[in-house]
Amino acid sequence: MAFEKTLTRNVGNLEARTLKGYEATGGFAPLRKALKEMTPLEVTEEVKKSGLRGRGGAGFPTGVKWGFVPRGGDRPVYLINNADESEPGTCKDRVLITHDPHLVLEGTMISAYALECHHAFIYIRGEYVNEYNILNRALMELRESGYLGRGILGSDFDLQVTIVRGAGAYICGEETALMNSLEGKRGEPRLKPPFPAQVGVFGAPTNVNNTETLANVPFIIERGAEWFAGIGKERNTGPKLYCVSGHVKNPGVFELPMTITCRELIEEHAGGMLHPDRPLKAFIPGGSSVPVLTAGEIDVVMSYDDLAEAGSMLGSAGGIVMDDTTCMVDALRNLEAFYHHESCGQCTPAARAAAGCTAC
């Protein structure tokens, strides 16, 4: 059976950027289903059963993470859609925002309903000027059409969504640094505990999820957890966006199941090496911060578990291809300079230890 694209189904369909065009593709039917046929707990359980794992890097089960957030207390609950896509080699969330902004918003809205959250934020990196404008126009459409505010779609659910622009700091992709930035403070990680689920932004319970993660939620609600779990492999379910850059003929973002190998991604989907007489030397599978694979190690499946077993990580699935003209020492120096400027020394010792950081 041919793999059906869902996350990227509207790429190239400019009408999908508008509310009318998005609705024509079935958009917001999942939101209506969630609001009228499901309780917040049922939405959470469906996402949990689907096996959806965070697409931002950590790969933590999304439904389980939602379950950490206390409901029904006297403090508000906040949801943050983390669109601060700062990892070198990664550009997948940019594609979603550019080509399907209403999908990004619908995923955020359904997730907010599941968390019993009435104010959600989308934190987008400052350099994404065009993407911010596209997303903001879509948000304005929703507000004008009654999709946001009080009593959404005739339900008793109230929600506001605010887009916050970052200032281009890599460290703000880390959820506690992001929360500090969102509050108007310096973007530096916080000590844990307390964890964001208990004490997050503005001192209230907070859940932070990656943009691609939340974009999967409408399809899970529309088609069911079993459909999502049937894609990929056990513990690595659902469609996945893979970025490929570097020495390939066809760099870009590819939607595929987590059953493909690094070799298939490079040779079949990215068109193979840019110069056929220059063989592959190294491949970074998950963004520049993950361990490098050699040319002899690329037959590994690009899933969370398989890459971990191979000694690397899926991370944000930002694949970087390097041919034999690449000096690995120079490449490492370049990455070291980036992380020295953007991350090193900005974390507290406890935050570094929790993240397994050895940069300092």
Whether the per-residue pLDDT at 49 is higher than 70: the answer is yes
pLDDT digits (tens, 9 = 90+) for 330-340: 999 999 999 88
pLDDT value of residue 350: 45
pLDDT value of residue 209: 98
Rounded to 10 degrees, the C-alpha dihedral 185/186/189/191 comes to -60
pLDDT-above-70 percentage for the chain: 96
Whether the per-residue pLDDT at 351 is higher than 90: the answer is no
Mean pLDDT of 302-314: 97
> What residue ranges of the chain are covered by domains with CATH 3.10.20.600?
233-326
pLDDT digits (tens, 9 = 90+) for 99-122: 999 999 999 999 999 999 999 999
pLDDT value of residue 168: 85
Q: What is the mean pLDDT of the chain?
A: 94
Class of domain 233-326: alpha beta
Mean pLDDT of 182-204: 94
Q: How would you write the chain as a 3-class SS string?
A: CCCCCCCCCCCCCHHHHCHHHHHHCCCCHHHHHHHHHCCHHHHHHHHHHHCCECCCCCCCEHHHHHHCCCCCCCCCCEEEEEECCCCCCCCHHHHHHHHCHHHHHHHHHHHHHHCCCCEEEEEECCCCHHHHHHHHHHHHHHHHCCCCECCHHHCCCCEEEEEEECCCCHHHHCHHHHHHHHCCCCCCCCCCCCCCCCCCHHHCCEEEEEHHHHHCHHHHHHHCHHHHHCCEECCEECEEEEEEEECECCCEEEEEECCCEHHHHHHHHCCCECCCCCCEEEEECCCCCCCCEEHHHCCCECCHHHHHHCCCCCCCCEEEEEECCCCHHHHHHHHHHHHHHHCCCCCCHHHHHHHCCCCC
pLDDT digits (tens, 9 = 90+) for 250-262: 999 999 999 999 9
pLDDT digits (tens, 9 = 90+) for 51-67: 999 999 889 999 999 99
Whether the per-residue pLDDT at 238 is higher than 80: the answer is yes
Mean pLDDT of 216-237: 97
> What residue ranges of the chain are covered by domains with CATH 3.40.50.11540?
14-63+74-224
pLDDT value of residue 347: 64
Is CATH 3.40.50.11540 correct for 14-63+74-224? yes
Question: Which of the pair, 241 or 354, is modelled with greater confidence?
Answer: 241
Minimum mean pLDDT among 33-42, 146-155, 320-329, 346-355: which range? 346-355
* pLDDT band, residue 359 (cuts 50/70/90): very low
Whether the per-residue pLDDT at 349 is higher than 60: the answer is no
pLDDT digits (tens, 9 = 90+) for 3-26: 899 999 999 999 999 999 999 999
* pLDDT band, residue 348 (cuts 50/70/90): low
pLDDT digits (tens, 9 = 90+) for 88-99: 999 999 999 999
pLDDT value of residue 178: 96
